[in-house]
A and B are shown apart, each in its own frame.
Chain A
């Protein structure tokens, strides 16, 4: 498992593209928002939690089709599938690798971009906490979507259609926790509910992902 994880990370860093692209996309979306809604500080403070979460979600979506596509094209996926590691484990490792290359940098960059959107000061720890806890769910759900569409030639758009509705609960709890944090209310409840979704997804979705991969590799 570690070997596969390290291989994926090395590929992501050396092949370029996927690693920085998500971050750059995140930055650009955040920069575009004030142009769209106007530079009023109060408006920005109001919408900052939601915009940060939606932008992080879209940035995570952007790199999903790379999870399996390259391995599928050069046949590495079939080799990995015949290795002693069960496919469920492969699915989990792929999700973790995606999180380390996408979710983690997004989480670390989000507070900086929060300044751009004039996010309320008490919300910063909540923003970090929700993204750190929520982006693994995004990666795991996305890995499932990528596994469903890996055999298709132009699966990217279809995958967005499949994955985005599945992101709804995570987004709701994440943005809600940050919003409550910004207003100084207790944000523990949505944070815990989101944690439930994340751990539930990490526990159950590898099985669905592996089932989808098996069908596609048949």
Chain B
């Protein structure tokens, strides 16, 4: 029993189909629960007032924006090394989800920034890095869309993903060098002395769990769709070939 058995598309679909409704259901429950808990049962912050509550959307989406790229990087490496088609399709399926998460983090940040910093946008390192990440996602998706042959597209996007990861990290540090920040430090970390207070911390954890589940559910679902699209194309091509053979006979 090895994990690579799930690289078989049939096995992948058979295994993930029963998981998807559970993942969607749990994700929905966790996010709705966390939002209700966060919006109605936690106090306002003494300085930020009720605007602090956007943290339940902003932090999880920002985390998932980066995690989605990391997942795409791993999937691209698996494709390049072991040539499992499901892996390439999973990377393709994750990209639009990552774009959405990046946009969500940027938009919720802007909505929070207007009353708090007095501006929707500042060229702060964190904000700028996210904007650059957004551009990387756009380029990745555009390359997938532009190439017709699926294997060529998978190869080229995988190479782009690896090179892009290196440059995304480089950009992060270059941007830090370039401008001083307005953005506060990390809200969550395992070793920090100061995290957000417990009242905000637990609903935030629940919300993050919900976003992780949502990401898993969406990626599994979209990967299944991609597999079925690929299958349909193959069937169409086969019937077209059969048609020409009949016409010749």
A158-B146 contact in complex given A193-B177, A208-B162, A216-B152, C-beta closer than 8 Å: yes
Chain B residue with the shortest CB-CB distance to A154: B146
- A183 to chain B minimum Cβ distance, whole angstroms, is 15
**Residue A148 interfacial (CB < 8 Å):** yes
Q: How far is the CA of A176 from the CA of B142 in the complex (A)?
A: 31
- B168 to chain A minimum Cβ distance, whole angstroms, is 8
Q: Which of A164, A190, A211 contacts B135 (CB 8 A)?
A: A164
- B60 to chain A minimum Cβ distance, whole angstroms, is 25
Chain B neighbourhood of A144, CB < 8 A: 163
Q: How far is the CA of A4 from the CA of B96 in the complex (A)?
A: 41
**Residue A12 interfacial (CB < 8 Å):** no
Q: Which of A148, A164, A216 contacts B160 (CB 8 A)?
A: A148
Chain A neighbourhood of B26, CB < 8 A: none
Count of chain B residues with a beta carbon within 8 Å of a chain A beta carbon: 26
A56-64, A68-76, A112-120, A166-174: which one contacts chain B?
A: A166-174
- Contact in complex: B163, A166 (CB < 8 Å): yes
- Contact in complex: B177, A168 (CB < 8 Å): no
- A209 to chain B minimum Cβ distance, whole angstroms, is 9
- Contact in complex: A169, B171 (CB < 8 Å): yes
- Contact in complex: B163, A151 (CB < 8 Å): no
Of B132, B138, B159, B162, the most chain A CB neighbours within 10 A belong to B159
- Contact in complex: B174, A172 (CB < 8 Å): yes
Secondary structure of the B contact surface, majority rule? helix
Chain B residue with the shortest CB-CB distance to A165: B135
**Residue A197 interfacial (CB < 8 Å):** yes
Chain A neighbourhood of B132, CB < 8 A: 165, 168
- Contact in complex: A165, B167 (CB < 8 Å): yes
A162-B160 contact in complex given A168-B171, A169-B170, C-beta closer than 8 Å: yes
**Would you give the 0/1 interface string for A39-83, flagging 1 where the beta carbon is closer than 8 Å to chain B?**
000000000000000000000000000000000000000000000
- Contact in complex: B143, A162 (CB < 8 Å): yes
A residues with a Cβ closer than 8 A to B are: 144, 148-149, 151-152, 155, 158, 161-162, 164-166, 168-169, 172-173, 176, 190, 193, 197, 204-205, 208, 211-212, 215-216, 218
| A152-B147, A165-B136, A193-B177 known, 12 other contacts, Cβ within 8 Å | A148-B143, A149-B143, A151-B152, A161-B138, A162-B139, A165-B135, A166-B163, A169-B173, A176-B177, A208-B159, A208-B162, A212-B156
25 residue pairs bridging A and B, Cβ less than 8 Å apart? A148-B156, A152-B147, A155-B146, A158-B139, A158-B146, A161-B139, A161-B142, A162-B160, A164-B135, A165-B132, A165-B167, A165-B171, A166-B164, A168-B174, A169-B170, A169-B171, A172-B175, A172-B178, A173-B177, A193-B177, A208-B162, A208-B163, A212-B155, A215-B159, A218-B152
